[in-house]
Amino acid sequence: MDLVCLEDFEQQAESKLEKTARDYYKSGAGDQFTLRLNREAFKRLRLRPRCLRDVSQLDISCKIFGQQLKWPLGIAPTAMQKMAHPDGEIGNARAAGKAGSIFILSTLSTTSLEDLSAAAPDTYKWFQLYIYKDRSLTEKIVRRAEKANFKALVLTVDAPIFGHRRADVRNKFSLPSHLSLANFQGEQANGVVTDGGSGINEYVASQFDPSITWKDINWLKQLTQLPIVLKGILTAEDAVLAREFGCAGVIVSNHGARQIDTVPASIEALPEVVKAVGNDLVVMLDGGIMQGNDIFKALALGAKTVFIGRPAVYGLAYNGQQGVEQVLGVLRKDFEITMALTGCQKLSDIQSSLVAHESIYSKL
């Protein structure tokens, strides 16, 4: 059977993944209301297509931080990808490179940033970062990312602690013993070198710092010349602070609905962030993208590009790198169809007037 939509890949992946890994990738926080909302909120937006426009030649390329990309979709940071397939982060990154997309490597990856960089040299790569209790550990990782040719730092700001994911608690989730958090091999915890998987996991968990504040953004900016993107912004107020503290961009995101339940869907939070800082920062989005018209709606509401997390992992679980390539191919084709059928030849043709909330029509 041909896989023609992202739900097809999700179903195939679920049949291949071990239960603990499947639940880890799938689950959200609490009752998982926001997990469902991330997708459903897109369905509450209606397209308002324009007709009789020349769409014989489409140009969906875009430029982010000066880098020319083939289209406005990238792959979000997702932890521990070798649980899905031995290709892991390398397969995902290579697929992104072939598609002309951004790939963001998670700090909590099962492939080290050096190995990823060497294996996918032609992929445009960003590195996702946390600020740890041991600031020297954070600094060391930043220096490694710079040396390995990553082009931006994506600081996750919505995880001073981890959210309550019930499935992981029930499953007593832990990283399989044959895998490890590769970016922390050889780090020292209380003088003991953490070469073993469980030791690394405990060390990294102990480093999450609930005391970080906006002052730490200043510290990070003084540390590096790389653009700093804040991931996890859901309010205009925090977007304005990101601008004031000199960040280059923000990713409107609720962490895949994995941190705290009943926050808004990313697409619901996007308009207020764009209104507040859209002329000053690169505003991006992740969460809930399942088809080409979701990409279109996010761009119409002001995002410059969007990212997918779970769908790429499901493609990986289905068939390694080739599975991710298929997922990206399905999304790109669907986005091109949406562009043509809404009368948009290039990305700048996508205007907010082409999208309306369903409430507009329910009043008629």
Active-site annotation, residues: 255
β partners of residue 346: 59
Rg from Cα positions in the chain: 20
Task: Give the distance from CA 113 to its chain's centroid.
Answer: 17
Tally of residues, the chain: 364
| Alpha helix ranges (H) inside the chain | 6-16, 19-26, 33-43, 88-99, 113-119, 135-147, 166-171, 197-207, 215-223, 236-244, 266-277, 292-300, 310-341, 359-362
Q: Assign 351 to helix, strand or coil.
A: coil
CA-CA distance, 335 to 330, in Å (whole number)? 9
- Using alpha carbons, select from 70, 87, 181 the residue that is nearest to residue 124: 70
**How deeply is 342 buried, as exposed, middle or buried, from its count of CB atoms within 10 A (0-12, 13-18, 19+)?**
buried
